Structures are given as C-alpha cells and as structure tokens.
Structure 1
Amino acid sequence: MLPPTPNDPGAIRITAVETVVVNAEMRNWILVKVRTDQDGLVGWGEASLNWKTRAVVGAVEDLATMIVGRDPRDIEQVLRVMTKHSYYRLGIVGVTAISGIEHALWDILGKSLGQPVWRLLGGQVRDRVRVYTHLGLGDMRSVYDTVDEGQLRERAAKVVEQGYDALKVVLIPYGGHLSTPADRRHVDRMMSVLRSTVGPDVDIMIDFHARPASPAAALQYIEILGGYDPMFCEEPVAPGDTEALRAVAARTSVPLAAGERLVGLREFLPVLSSKALAVAQPDLNHTGGLLEGKRIAAVADAELVGVAPHNPNGPIAGAAALHFAVSTPNFVIQEEMSGAVDWYDEVVSAPMKRVGSHWEIPTAPGLGVEVDEAAAARHPYEPEVPHSSSAVLGDGTVVDW
C-alpha cells in the first residue's frame, strides 16, 4: 500500500528502483538507480557484494515494492520502512541492498538542494581525504596473488611511484590454530622486502582476513610484523569475536583494525566498547549506508576509535566514502580501488580526484556521479572468480579465506 499523499506541492515521489550490474573482472558492481516523478531527477548508489550479486539484485527488487510512492528525501523514514517492514532481521544481503538504495536517496537529496552530500552529513571537517591502495593499484589479482618477493618488490614500487604514501597487503598464509615456522619466516621475508622497497615513511597495513584460527596464531604473526612499524593489522581474528580480539589487543602495542564484515551499529557496539580496536572499518556498502556509518563513527569517536571505511568496491561506493570522509571528524584513511580495471572511469564519472595520496573535496551536487548506461551494458554480469576456493590446507582442511 502506498503512503498517503500529503498536501505538499513540493513533494517528490519514488517511481522505480532499478539495478545495473557491471562486471569488473574480479567482481561485479551493483549500481542502484532510484527514479522519481521529477523530470531528470534520479539518484545513484552502489550495493556491490562479492559472490552475492544475484541475491542482492533480488533483494533490491523486493525492497523497491515497499518504497515506491514515498518521498526519497525522507531518508530516515524510507530506511525504517525497509528494515521494520521486512519483519525478519536483514543479514548482509538485505542490508547491502538497503545501503545501495540509501546512497541513491542521498544523491537525490543533494541534487534537489543543489548541495554536495557531505554538506548534508554535517559539513566539511577537513581539507583533503587521505587514501591508500593495494598492490597492483586496485587489481584484485595482485592483491591476493602476490606470493613471491620479486612480485612484491615490483608491485610495491609502482604504488609509491604513483604518489601513494600508504598501502595494504594480504600476505598472512592460510592457517589453523598455530602458525608454522616456515609460514612465520615467509611473512618476515616478505615484510622485509616490502619495507625496504617503500622506505620508512610509507604506511603499511596488513590484512589478516581472519586467517589465524586463534588469538595465539594471530599473535605469532603480529610479533613479527611489529618490527616493521605497521599502521595497523586488520581483522587478525574472526569478525564479531570480541573476546578473541580483546585477547590479541591485550598482548600487543600494534594497532588493530576490524569491522568490514559487521552489519550495522548493533554489531559494532560490543567491539567498540571493548577498547580492543584502534580503527573501525565499517563498509558503507554493507553496513546500512551513510547514516548508519555516521552513527558507527559517532560511537567510535566516543570510544576513542578512529574510522577507516572498508571499500574494495566500485566507483559509486568510492564517491559515498569520499563524502563520508569529508564530514567525519574521526576519519583516518580511505581504501580505494581506482585501478581495478583499465576502464574504471568509463562507466561511472565519479568525483574522486586524487592528488598524491589524497582525494580533493568534491563540489558537485549529490554524490557527484554520472553513469553511462551504454558503457555499463558493455560489461554485463558474469559469475565472479571464487578466490576463496584456494583457502584449503595441505591436508584438505577448509579454512578462512
């Protein structure tokens, strides 16, 4: 049932919610388009979720029936309809769909007012936004498949040559409850090569991907990594296991980061209150959108925790992250993947303008994105590469990717 139409000559109505799927080789971008009854006024968001493309697209279609006819500028109310009227608590698929729709609502609101979204989220709190990339400058194969010292040296040098002063690597081996001497020697060698290549002043982040199956195994690696002055170690234990994270934090001075797989403020609360994190990493594509991200950031700030949003996704997710960073006081650094494919800028014209290791402040209304749907059609949906299939030990044990 559509909501009652108020006597408001300035009302705007949602008329349709659509998705455009773009295959970016290693993953699909799920772009969300919200149409309105105002000529030319549409909003764009992103709801990309690796290996769940068709599920998210279906969730967007289901949620659309709840919000057609509503005013897209009533963002809080539209979000409540999608969450409260879904009845069952939404998991990662449903909340990712909501996040993409929510981005588009902010885009519409900004365009309707002629203001960039960051202005509506509280205004500007910094003059530029620090960013980091991965080995391969966003190429997902390099991120996960850099396994020898020569590759590491070459790819790290290219990152620094492009002007970045921070990068992240994924080099913790797949493992169980204890690490092996060989694996520890491998991590030591790789970090030695990496630090000698980039120099002492480039920040290095190490993503564990929760591969250690225990705090003890995580600490065995962190003891080695501490000698190379990392910016932080990310997701050293399973997401949501607050006690395990606290056990690691109690025995190291290396800053810890986590949160990309947590959904909403509710799941962040126990982790933030534990004082185990230095940096929280909500994914604005997966945790409920910009409003929920701001709530998480506010609680993190109260707990003396910084925020560095997770974002290995597409260009509209990057635009949302940019506006969040401009307006969030305890923001630390932003992950970005602008080199994920050679044609990254062809489908979406986005406001992220990098100078060195920073994005500039955008000024265009809304999120500042434009989508070329004809270009998008040249890269239709394809099943994503199942990287996680390699997360198997020599004896056949399946472990965390």
Structure 2
Amino acid sequence: MKIERIETFLVPPRWLFCRIETSDGVVGWGEPVVEGRAEVVRTAIEVLSEYLIGQDPLQIERHWQILSKGGFYRGGPVLSSAVAGLDHALWDIAGKVYGAPVASLLGGRVRDRVRVYAWVGGDEPAEIADQVAAQVDAGMTAVKMNASGRIQPSPSLAELNSIVARMAAARSVLGDERDVAIDLHGRVGVAAARRILHAVEDQHPLFVEEPVLPEHLHHLGEVIGSSTVPVALGERLYSRSDFVPALDAGVAVVQPDVSHAGGISELRRIAVLAETHGALFAPHCPLGPISLAASLQVSFATPNFLIQEQSRGIHYNVESDLTAYVTDPSPFAWVDGHAEWNPLPGLGIMVDEAAVREADKKGHGWRNPVWTHEDGSFAEW
C-alpha cells in the first residue's frame, strides 16, 4: 500500500482540509490550518507532499520525523500545521487499516467520555449571563469566554472591573458546581496580567488562558506566582521544546492545538511531557470537525486530561458549523457536557466528501480582525 494522492480543500468558514488516498483505496482526512493563513498552509502541504507520494502510509513516525526535521529551517506555525494535517490523515488511514479508533492505537482509552466546554461572548464579550444560561440549558458543565474585547496593555480600573463583572455574571448562572474559564489572548502586559489574576481569584476560574504573549514566556513565572489561579496556555506553541519554558515556570494547564502543534503524534508527546510536570492537558480546538475528531482521540487516551475545547456554535462559524462537512453528526452530540466514546475506526468521523468538494469551489479568505487603540496604535486581538 502506497500513498497515491494528496489533496487540499479550502472550506468555509475558515478551515483547510486535506485528503490522502492510498493505492488500496483507503482515504484519510486531516485539518492543516493556521486561522487567517490557510492559503499559505495549503502551499506548504503541496511542498511536503513531494516526499509523501509513493510512501507507505503506515510508517507514521518515520514520516513525522522527516516532514518535521527534513528541512534545514524547521518549525513555526505554517510548517507545523501542515505536518499536523498530514499526520491526522495518516493516523486516520492507520485506524481504518487496523479497524480501530486512533485512541486504541495510542494504547487505548483511559476514560469513557471526555468533558467539553462551550464558548460564550464572542470577540467583544456581551450578554454573558444569557449565553451562559443557554449553555447550561443545553447540558454544558463548563464555558469559556474572552476576558475582554479591545483593551489597553495597562488597563484602566473600569476595564479591570468589567472583566470581574463578566466573570461574576457567568458565575451567578453557573453556580459552584459548573466551571468558567477566561482567555486573556495575550492582550495585556505582564503587570496587568498579574492584576487580573488577582482580581478574578474570588470567582475561582477553571483557568485563565494566555495571560502573556508567547514571546514573554520568560515572565510567565512572575505571573503564575502572583495568584492561586491556574494558568493555561499553548495555542501558539508548536512543539515539545516550546512547552519546556512554560512547564518549568509552573503552568497548570497546557493547551496545544492538534492542527498547529505537529498533529496527533506531537500532541500526545506534549501531553506526556506535561504529565511529568504535574500539568493538566486541555487541547485548544476552535476549528473544524476533523481537528476536533483528532483532538478527541488524544484526549480519550491521555491520563492527565482536563477538558476539551470545541467549536460548536462558536462566533467564528457563521457560514458553516462543526457538523456541516460530516455525514453523521452523532460524534459531536454532547451528552451532559461530554463527548461519548466513539468506536468507529480512525478518527471516528465520516467526512462528507461531496460537500467538501463543493465548498472548496467557493473557498474563503478569512482573516482575523486587526485592532487598533483609540490613538491609532496596534492592539492585540
């Protein structure tokens, strides 16, 4: 069995899928994308495909090593995401060949269901209480929201108070038995991050995500030490080595993204590395169905798992939601805020190829917002 064909599909709202077909007719699917740079990743897939065509698809680790390290210049979000999507598809093929879910190939599941959380509030968080109540009514046990919209690197007292008020509004609906997490998105400076952690401590967030930018990880220990709030990060880290400084600083929760951090192969290794530091694993995944299916396979097989991000109903998915490109949505039908174990082989989903090919004819040109402050200077999104 050899790899015969590799295709990519640019599909709304902001995703990129890849399809690998073998000489035996087995097909695997992956989701290699950098949000806002999908076309660039598509080109990277074309380059990496030069190596994969004609290879045995079951030699996944061999291929991962060459795809990741075969170029003198390595890493970064584009190449790591391209490798990730190809890795998803190879694992999907392997599962289908061996007749087993990917989680079983990783050593077997360690849990029967995976807790998931829902997004509320959007980029400029509003109507928090109503949105949280809707998620509670839907059976969700945890939500996450942006701590703020556009915000100064050194926030005013009013801006700080608005963050606390949003958290209080969510907590008033959730009560003590459900969880809320907030995402700072690297929007404030190091000193402000410390102040925010202290300010929200009484609301007991499940975690505060990305309090500092990746380029400021050398200050992460100061931020973590400023409060008892668990700190999470990792969506903009792309390898095991990228996570070492964060784990050494005492980060409580790692959040690698299966579509950015080298795929299933590297996500699993990052989770194991985190376990040796006593850190929990909460995969980042505000993307499409293939990415989520791949992430869930790792989550089912990971002992130090905490909670899984998912994009059903997220504010980015205006044109197409999580189930738009699968023939059976049941793997994404949450039960009491959890994903149930799915015994189907490979990634456990059936991609609607006809819908994907039709959507690719339209494509997309999604770009993240570019924000500025009132004085015209750049603001972190």
- Under a length normalisation based on structure 2, what TM-score does the superposition of the two structures give? 0.94
Which has the larger Rg? 1
| Alpha-carbon shift at residue 196 of structure 1 (Å) | 1.3
2:111 aligns with 126
For structure 1, the 5+ residue unaligned runs are 1-11, 136-141
**1:352–1:362 contact (8 Å) kept in structure 2:** no
Choose the corresponding residue for 1:332, options 299, 306, 320. 306
1:303 aligns with 277
Deviation digits for residues 301-326 of structure 1 (CA, Å, limit 9, x no counterpart): 00000010000000011100111011
1:98 aligns with 2:80: no
1:50 aligns with 35
- Looking at structure 2, the residues matched to 176 and 183 of structure 1 have their Cα atoms a distance apart, in angstroms, of 8
1:267 aligns with 242
| Alpha-carbon shift at residue 377 of structure 1 (Å) | 3.9
1:34 aligns with 2:12: no
Return 185-194 or 154-163, whichever deviates more.
185-194
Alignment of 1:125-164 (within 5 A): 125-135=110-120, 142-147=121-126, 151-164=127-140
**1:132–1:333 contact (8 Å) kept in structure 2:** yes
- Looking at structure 2, the residues matched to 346 and 174 of structure 1 have their Cα atoms a distance apart, in angstroms, of 31
| Alpha-carbon shift at residue 29 of structure 1 (Å) | 1.4
Give the AA of the match of 1:122: G
Choose the corresponding residue for 2:145, options 169, 184, 194. 169
| Alpha-carbon shift at residue 192 of structure 1 (Å) | 2.1
Choose the corresponding residue for 1:23, options 12, 15, 19. 12
2:347 aligns with 367
Number of residue pairs the alignment of both structures matches: 373
2:58 aligns with 73
Alignment of 1:283-322 (within 5 A): 283-322=257-296
Give the AA of the match of 2:10: V
- Looking at structure 2, the residues matched to 110 and 192 of structure 1 have their Cα atoms a distance apart, in angstroms, of 45
**2:2–2:55 contact (8 Å) kept in structure 1:** yes
Choose the corresponding residue for 2:3, options 9, 14, 21. 14
**2:122–2:145 contact (8 Å) kept in structure 1:** yes
1:382 aligns with 364
Alignment of 1:56-67 (within 5 A): 56-67=41-52
1:195 aligns with 171
**1:260–1:310 contact (8 Å) kept in structure 2:** yes
1:278 aligns with 252
**1:99–1:284 contact (8 Å) kept in structure 2:** yes
- Looking at structure 1, the residues matched to 69 and 83 of structure 2 have their Cα atoms a distance apart, in angstroms, of 12
Give the root-mean-square deviation of aligned CA atoms: 1.5
Deviation digits for residues 132-152 of structure 1 (CA, Å, limit 9, x no counterpart): 0101xxxxxx521333xxx22
| Alpha-carbon shift at residue 274 of structure 1 (Å) | 2.3
Shift in alpha-carbon separation, 1:385–1:82, aligned structure 2, 3 A? closer
Choose the corresponding residue for 1:397, options 370, 377, 381. 377
1:184 aligns with 160
1:242 aligns with 2:217: yes
- Looking at structure 1, the residues matched to 273 and 321 of structure 2 have their Cα atoms a distance apart, in angstroms, of 38
| Alpha-carbon shift at residue 385 of structure 1 (Å) | 4.6
- Looking at structure 2, the residues matched to 262 and 245 of structure 1 have their Cα atoms a distance apart, in angstroms, of 14
Give the AA of the match of 1:190: R
| Alpha-carbon shift at residue 294 of structure 1 (Å) | 1.1
| Alpha-carbon shift at residue 378 of structure 1 (Å) | 4.2
| Alpha-carbon shift at residue 176 of structure 1 (Å) | 4.1
State the secondary structure of the residue aligned to 1:310: coil
- Looking at structure 2, the residues matched to 295 and 346 of structure 1 have their Cα atoms a distance apart, in angstroms, of 31
**2:75–2:238 contact (8 Å) kept in structure 1:** no
- Looking at structure 2, the residues matched to 221 and 83 of structure 1 have their Cα atoms a distance apart, in angstroms, of 38
State the secondary structure of the residue aligned to 1:155: helix
Give the AA of the match of 1:381: G
- Under a length normalisation based on structure 1, what TM-score does the superposition of the two structures give? 0.89
- Looking at structure 1, the residues matched to 174 and 55 of structure 2 have their Cα atoms a distance apart, in angstroms, of 52
State the secondary structure of the residue aligned to 2:56: coil
State the secondary structure of the residue aligned to 2:292: helix
- Looking at structure 1, the residues matched to 368 and 69 of structure 2 have their Cα atoms a distance apart, in angstroms, of 34
2:70 aligns with 85
1:208 aligns with 2:184: yes
- Looking at structure 2, the residues matched to 318 and 239 of structure 1 have their Cα atoms a distance apart, in angstroms, of 23
